[in-house]
Amino acid sequence: MLARVTSCAVVGLDGAIVEVEVDTSRGLPSLTIVGLPDAAVQESRERVRSAIKNSGLIYPNKRLTVNLAPADLREGPAYDLPVAVGILLASEQAWPDRVEYALFVGELSLDGGVRHTTGILPMAALAKERGFNTVFVPAVDAPEAALIQGIEVIPVTDLSSLVTHLQGLCPIEPYSYHLDLSAGEPPPYAADLCHIKGQEHVRRALEVAAAGGHNVIMTGPPGAGKTLLARSMPSILPRMTTDERLEVTKIYSVAGSLPPETPLIQHRPFRAPHHTISHAGLVGGGRWPRPGEISLAHRGVLFLDELPEFGMRTLEVLRQPLEDHIVTISRAAGTLTFPANFVLIAAMNPLSLWLLW
């Protein structure tokens, strides 16, 4: 029997639909995954098998073939849940009419639990764009998926509860999240410019930079207050709009840096990487590129302390983001673009610059 389940991949900051096809046939019991799976998907064979058995379900004693299409997309552990659902559909332990307009995402543990998955927000946004009615996501990621209005979010804690839901025996209540966009309390920034006394000329410069979105470089001896003033910069920037909050949250979701108790980034980020950071860590990179520090500082502040200590190659890669507010990363697998609209604040000791010269 052939079963089809829809899942999603993340390419850059956008989602991409992945169709999971499961076919059962006669032959020696085995599970073969075809497409372009990475090591995490190849290992999912054992995770799916153990999760189904430990959930009190029947793992079919047949030859199973799983196809992930399109085959040129990178796959990962987020496809454990759709593969398991496809196997249960193919073995007639769940009903196909309940998964026709639904999208499944999640990593399985050996006991059948569903674990956290990165990039849930762009996946949910794509599901709404493509006309899906329901998304099945890990329960810990349900608040993040519920940020997308107009789509039903089903929080899945384990595989057994999902099967009873698909069978209509014990439905899972959809998750609802109230998005509070009111001004509320002042943001809990590390420092507030109104609490800093003195340094009037520097305070005035930061106010002008905040009003116009300008970059700043501060020079002075150690202990003059450069770091404290830089950390207070986000406190005088305007509050982010709803679109800006969702945009920043999407970056943190894909990077795996979104705190579990914070489904939505409410305040402007402040990033202060150490001078030993590599250029790939600053702009993003890897075999499958992920956002770097300059993208994590999008709509916020990027602080480079002891600027002369940064490598020349590291500083040179800042040229395009400062001019175009985006960063383009090219790899053999393709070219990706990440947003990088930030305020750059640099600080240095004049003595270190003289020694460098």
**CATH 3.30.230.10 boundaries in the chain:** 2-166
User: Which class is domain 2-166?
Assistant: alpha beta
Question: Kind of pairing, strands 270-271 and 301-305?
Answer: parallel
Rounded CA gap, 49 and 178, in Å? 37
pLDDT at 291: 93
pLDDT digits (tens, 9 = 90+) for 289-326: 889 999 999 999 999 999 988 988 888 889 989 999 99
pLDDT digits (tens, 9 = 90+) for 222-263: 888 999 999 999 999 998 998 999 999 999 999 989 887 788
pLDDT digits (tens, 9 = 90+) for 80-97: 999 999 999 999 888 888
pLDDT at 45: 86
Q: Which residue has the higher pLDDT, 36 or 155?
A: 155
Torsion region of 327: left, alpha or beta (phi above 0 gives left; psi -120 to 50 gives alpha): beta
Q: Quick one: 193-356 is in which CATH superfamily?
A: P-loop containing nucleotide triphosphate hydrolases (3.40.50.300)
pLDDT of residue 345 exceeding 80, the answer is yes
Question: Kind of pairing, strands 284-285 and 290-291?
Answer: antiparallel
**CATH 3.40.50.300 boundaries in the chain:** 193-356
User: Looking at residue 99, what DSSP letter applies?
Assistant: S
pLDDT of residue 183 exceeding 80, the answer is no
The model's pTM: 0.90
